[in-house]
Amino acid sequence: MACEIDLPALCFVSVDITGKCNQTDQTYISGETDVEVGCIFQFSRDLCVTCHKGDTVISSSDRILYRIQCQPHSFSVQLKFTPILRRDRGNYSCKATVDGSSREIPFSFEVFENPTVTLFPSTLSLLEGDQRNLTCKVTNTDAVKTIPLRLAWCDPGGSTIDKSKIVRVREGMERLMLNSTDAPGDYMCGVTKCTESATLVIIKPKEKVCPETTDSRGTSWPQTVGNTSLVLPCPEGFQGNVRRICDVTGEWEDLNYITCVRKAVAQIEEEVASITEGVVTSEKVSDVLEKLQEVTKVNDSTAGDLDKSIDLVDTLAAAVSKSDSPAVGDTATAKSFVNVVDNILSVDTSKEDWQQVQKSNATKASALMRAVTSFGLAAAASLTVNKPLTISSSTMVLEVAKVKKQDITFPNENLKGVKSSLRLSQENYHAEEEVIYAAAYYRTMAEILQKIHPGDDKTTQKEIRSQILSLAVQAAGKRLAELDMDVTLNFYHGQVDDAELECGYWNFNKGSWRTDGCKRSHINSSFSRCDCDHLTNFAILMSPTRVVSKSNLRFLTTISIVGCSLSILGCLVTVLTHVCLWRSVRSTKSVILVNLCVALTLAYGVFLVGVERTENKAICTAVAAILHYLLLANFCLMFAQGINMTRQAVTVSRKSSRLEVVLALSWGVPAVIVGITLGVTELEGYGNDQFCWLTVEDGVLYALAGPALFIILANTVFIIIIMRVLFSTKMMIQKANREKFMISFRSLCVLMPVFGVTWVFGILAFNEDTVVFQYLFAILNSLQGFLIFVMHCIFNTKVGQFT
């Protein structure tokens, strides 16, 4: 019976070994070919079979299949690369052993890179009488052996170019001589066929041109016609292309070398990739970190080097954290890792590069912090219990440890320049279990992380006013950061206005600073204490501006409470009055009005009782969602009333409206909107640490503001239509101006509360300079229910004749 075993080795005891492989020395092109090697060993009884690349045991990965199968009287080995890559080159062997005898079959792969061709400059701009060159170059020199003697060239018509115009510089590099009399258009080149193109442009008189210039890195930018994006190869020693725009005015825009990576950094990428595909060993990790430490401390780095280095650190840390065997073998390896991160975080030498990296991808700083945490936890796993390791550098401090029956404090010793600290009580985990943790203090990260929540305007901008602390804890293989934890942090932030400080944490999923789950208790003007219910990266945030001042906020709060209370009373009286006099006042308008009063009463009640219930996240989220639904229902009912009253004003038709459908839509559509919003946001944005309301930073507030703005605009149009009809009646035409004004004013007072137009003051109330609109908004909208009672009960003639 045949058997198949997905193991790298299988051991027995036997004699006489024979065997062969179907693969010897071969040459391939990287990324183009699937390669499969099969080896068969014959045996009389039992064998032990292993395969290696150099001294490393081969293992399976997503790209590499390695399998040993046992069959009657033979062992077969299957090794398959899909596809084979440049890093797979080297010497391999499969070996069968038994007792003192063995049979080893060696084989090797030579893998050449797929030729990468660049034709530059991407645009060749010539004045009359000018002559310049287009250069076609195979940029990866290791692939030169795989290309023909001459490169292929094509003119704009697709024909082969006269060889007399082509100058061969060296193997894999040629130049095409062009002048202003040549046909403008796209010229092409390639290895065996024309694949890369560059455009010849003849500059017209008076056309804007960017002058020829050389940048700080020595790249020469030729004269280029305006409104052109020019691409050139990166400087010598770097891989990739660099792009620069010549704008329509004939001015060069700023440079960005984010796509240029030093070859030394790119070569390490292969080694990191090989670690992720094989067995992660401490020797390999240590070797790669030493090389990274060397290449990241070079002063002549680019934004591309920084970007790629972060990717390498992140990938390496992920591989180390997932390894089944210890991958951080000694203190030296951990120090090398911290030194690499220190080189990356050196703001003094790479501030401009960091700005370019963050502009290109705002998650890079997050990725680096995540890598520090992952690597730190892996390093902590190999330590002795209660003997922490602290590594300090110019930009950060990393402390890792394995503890038992004790609190976690960081730092656990006095460190120069570190004034902030954190503490996690052992009550947060089982006292008998061993716990590992990684804590970090970032001296310069605050200068790198973004300071504005995505989608926020300047009025809600947050500024980081302290250094950043980080803590991650793991017990029994599980990250405790995923659970509710109570951690206490003490921050030094210097002299600031106490009222403007908040405790915040970095949300990796959102890529922004958040404040929910953290409460601040003031210690003095320079220190703050933060109590948070989760573990992540913490800091003190400060709002440089407020929407309203503290004194105005106090008055507005009082107005809202008094106004909402009066509105609840007014709505209840309005509903009771209409119920008692239903036979006399019954109409479509009255039905919608009663529904509106019910919705307003519920909304005001939930607002007064629950808007500040932030101590319980679940309750706070529920309150915010209910308020969202009730306010949307209010707007839908106001929209329905607007349509109904406008229809009555402009038509004499007595055809009844579909009231049941109108009410169903008014109460049902808000439920659909809230349900979709809750599902899409996964409850994020419903409630924060201050109010149980919708947040701006998650965009949830727009799920109310969008429909509300539409309805306000529509109802404003309805008011204009109704007033226009009113003024065109014969009765109004005959009245004096004073009477017209009084009738118009009373009509507006009747319409505006039920149409919700007063909410427009909320749009105008966006900062301290427009605080008058804040007061108008608070007064009119908190009193909306009371105004409905006044205008539709006290001044309603149908109601008045029964009272």
DSSP string of 652-671, one letter each residue: ---PPP-HHHHHHHHHHHHH
CB atoms within 10 A of CB 131: 11
**Rounded-to-integer distance, Cα 428 and Cα 424, Å:** 7
As a whole number of Å, the end-to-end CA separation of the chain is 100
Q: Which helix (H) or strand (E) holds 343?
A: helix 331-344
Question: pTM of the predicted model, to two decimals?
Answer: 0.62
**C-alpha torsion 258→259→263→267, nearest 10:** 100
Structure confidence at residue 750 (pLDDT): 54
Q: Which residue has the higher pLDDT, 263 or 526?
A: 263
| More confident: 455 or 448 | 448
Say if residue 6's pLDDT is above 70: no
> Confidence band (pLDDT; 50, 70, 90) for 405?
confident
Q: What integer is the mean pLDDT of 542-571?
A: 66
Q: Compute the Cα dihedral for 381, 387, 388, 393 and give only its sign.
A: negative
Q: For residue 554, count other CB atoms closer than 10 A to its CB.
A: 11
Angle at 277 between CA 272 and CA 283, to 5 degrees: 55
Predicted local distance difference test score (pLDDT) of residue 289:
94
- Residues above pLDDT 90, as percent of the chain: 24
pLDDT of 292: 93
Mean pLDDT for 22-33 is: 79
**Model pLDDT, residue 11:** 42
Give the pLDDT of residue 619: 84
Assign 13 a pLDDT band (cuts: 50, 70, 90): very low
Mean pLDDT computed over 67-75 = 82
> Which tokens is 179 given?
């002048």
DSSP H or E segment with residue 378: helix 364-380
The model's confidence at residue 764, banded by pLDDT at 50, 70 and 90, is: very low
Residue 728 CA, chain-centre distance (Å), reads 57
**Lowest mean pLDDT segment, chosen from 101-115, 575-589, 691-705, 759-773:** 759-773
Residue identified by tokens 């430490």 is 293
What SS3 string covers 535-592?
A: CCEEEEEECCCCCCCHHHHHHHHHHHHHHHHHHHHHHHHHHHHHHHCHHHHCCHHHHH
Question: Smallest Cα–Cα separation from 378: which of 327, 311, 330, 309?
Answer: 327
**pLDDT above 50 (res 2):** no
Which ranges constitute the DSSP H helices of 611-701? 617-650, 659-681
Q: List the single range of 283-292, 683-692, 731-740 with lowest mean pLDDT.
A: 731-740
Q: What is the largest CA-CA distance in the chain?
A: 123
Peptide bond into 83 cis (omega under 30): yes
- Using DSSP bridges, classify how beta strands 241-246 and 435-442 pair: parallel, antiparallel or unpaired: unpaired
- Out of 411-425, 687-701, 765-779, which region has the weakest mean confidence (pLDDT)? 765-779
Q: Which residue has the higher pLDDT, 732 or 645?
A: 645
Rg of the chain in Å (alpha carbons): 37
At residue 325, the pLDDT reads: 74
Report which of residues 733 and 634 the model is more confident about. 634
Residue 438, class by beta-carbon neighbours within 10 Å (0-12 exposed, 13-18 middle, 19+ buried)?
buried
Confidence at 173, pLDDT banded by 50, 70, 90: very high
Predicted confidence at residue 307, as pLDDT, reads 92
pLDDT at 9 (0 to 100): 43
pLDDT at 496: 61
Nearest residue to 532 (alpha-carbon basis) of 428, 666, 661: 428
pLDDT exceeds cutoff 80 at 525: no
Amino acid 261: pLDDT: 92
Q: Quick one: pLDDT band at residue 371, thresholds 50, 70, 90?
A: very high
Q: 45 falls in which pLDDT band (50, 70, 90)?
A: low
| pLDDT above 60 for 464 | yes
SS3 581: coil
Maximum average pLDDT range among 413-422, 530-539, 649-658: 413-422
Mean pLDDT of 391-397: 92
At 266-299, the pLDDT tens digits run 889 888 888 887 778 888 899 999 999 999 887 7
Please give the pLDDT value at position 247: 94
Amino acid identity, residue 573? V
The pLDDT value given to residue 760: 56
pLDDT above 50 for 452: no
- Quote the DSSP letter at residue 22: S
The per-residue pLDDT for range 129-169, each reduced to its tens digit, is 999 999 999 888 777 777 788 899 999 988 888 888 999 99
